[in-house]
Chain A
């Protein structure tokens, strides 16, 4: 599972799982935080390529990481988000703080 986290320059790349729910979310948040602290990354990129299901737990993961890095000028990106995930980000207002890229 650790292969889902990769540091490239000052970016932490997080490959999100197929299903993002409460059961999976604490693992992702805890590990992302370890990288943010230990590797001193500035920005976090969430890759939704594999994701087929997400509930509000995914919103909590993104919001929590945003709060950790934004005070140091860090940014959060979402890549490969399908229409459904984009919709979830919109409803929760996260599109205002997350840069959604192709």
Chain B
């Protein structure tokens, strides 16, 4: 099974909820558990919020692109912005590292993406933009289902 979806929307905070719900709806054909749906929503919310706050500094006018691909039982999600980019990706991904503490950010976005998805890759060029690529296998936790 293969299925692809692409979307583009304005980089404004009002679109954060819409974006994570759209991805969750797209993955519903794989019959994810409620837990998996929550994992995906949190991870997408993190990546989209980062594009808006850090990529575009919260200034309107930019666009966020999401591409989703379902291949067998794996969801691939890419979240892209053409904003500031990240100079030191390794440092940015450290837990509690944030460049915007004054905005009440906690530096837990990347750690949450890592915790809730199976794979996380960050591609970024300073001054050009950032692409976050995440993967998650759906329906592979039989030991939890066994407890029923």
**A residues touching B (Cβ–Cβ < 8 Å)?**
19, 21-23, 25-26, 29, 53-57, 59-61, 63-64, 84, 88, 91-93
Chain B residues with Cβ under 8 A from A60's Cβ? Answer: 103-106, 108
Proximity bits, B42-74, A CB within 8 Å = 1, else 0: 100110010011000000000000000000000
A-B contact pairs, 11 of them (CB 8 A): A22-B49, A23-B16, A26-B104, A53-B41, A53-B42, A54-B42, A55-B112, A57-B49, A59-B108, A91-B115, A92-B106
Q: In the complex the two chains form, what is the Cα distance from A60 to B109 in whole Å? A: 10
Chain A residues with Cβ under 8 A from B53's Cβ? Answer: 22
Do B14 and A23 touch across chains, with their CB atoms under 8 A apart?
A: yes
**B residues touching A (Cβ–Cβ < 8 Å)?**
13-14, 16-17, 35, 38, 41-42, 45-46, 49, 52-53, 95-96, 103-106, 108-109, 111-112, 115
- Of A19, A25, A56, A64, the most chain B CB neighbours within 10 A belong to A56
Do A56 and B106 touch across chains, with their CB atoms under 8 A apart?
A: yes
Q: In the complex the two chains form, what is the Cα distance from A60 to B13 in whole Å? A: 16
How near does chain B come to A21, taking the closest CB pair, in angstroms? 5
How near does chain A come to B95, taking the closest CB pair, in angstroms? 8
Chain A residues with Cβ under 8 A from B115's Cβ? Answer: 91
Decide yes or no: A55 and B104 within 8 Å by CB, A23-B17, A91-B112 being known contacts: no
